[in-house]
């Protein structure tokens, strides 16, 4: 059973926009942080944007003013709206969630780290 389901990746021209979505399974609860990371070929995985349980948001300097992270707590979902996309934004984007889990009918507060399988974003003309 998938814990995180990502969608929205694809091919877009420079200057275009994409919206990524990540839905966390209801087996994940007491979420303390949600966010997005990315990894380009030959590079380390890097933080793109995160939002904490208290609403604090962090962005990588390279995406400030272009990307917007948001969340829908009721839907266990985090979004990444990407605008003014550049070729250097090309990467596999990974959803990340930190929270507890249900185990054999009981609640385990964790916290545990969950990662999506990644969705490819390609910015090219």
- Give the pLDDT score at 29: 87
Q: How far is CA 101 from the centre of its chain?
A: 19
- Give the pLDDT score at 103: 78
Could you tell me the two tokens for 73? 């707590």
- Give the pLDDT score at 88: 97
Could you tell me the two tokens for 5? 């389901």
Reading the chain (125 residues) residue by residue, the pLDDT tens digits are 689 999 999 999 999 999 999 999 989 988 999 999 999 999 999 999 999 999 999 999 999 999 999 999 889 999 999 999 999 999 999 999 999 998 788 899 889 999 999 999 999 99
**DSSP output for 31-99:** EEEEEEEEE-TTS--EEEEEEETT--EEE-GGGTTTEEEEEEGGGTEEEEEE-S--GGG-EEEEEEEEE
- Give the pLDDT score at 25: 93
- Give the pLDDT score at 102: 85
9-42 pLDDT, tens digit each: 999 999 999 999 999 998 998 899 999 999 999 9
- Give the pLDDT score at 63: 98
Mean pLDDT of the chain: 95
């Amino acid at each position: 059973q998938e814990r995180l389901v990502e969608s929205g990746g694809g091919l877009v021209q420079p200057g275009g926009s994409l919206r990524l979505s990540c839905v966390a399974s209801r087996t994940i609860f007491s979420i303390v942080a949600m966010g997005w990371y990315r990894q380009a070929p030959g590079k380390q995985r890097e933080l793109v944007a995160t939002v904490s349980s208290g609403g604090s948001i962090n962005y990588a300097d390279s995406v400030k003013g272009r990307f917007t992270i948001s969340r829908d707590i009721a839907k266990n979902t985090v979004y990444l709206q990407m605008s003014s996309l550049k070729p250097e934004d090309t990467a596999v984007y990974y959803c990340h969630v930190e929270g507890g889990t249900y185990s054999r009918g009981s609640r385990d507060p964790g916290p545990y780290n969950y990662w999506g399988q990644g969705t490819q974003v390609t910015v090219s003309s």
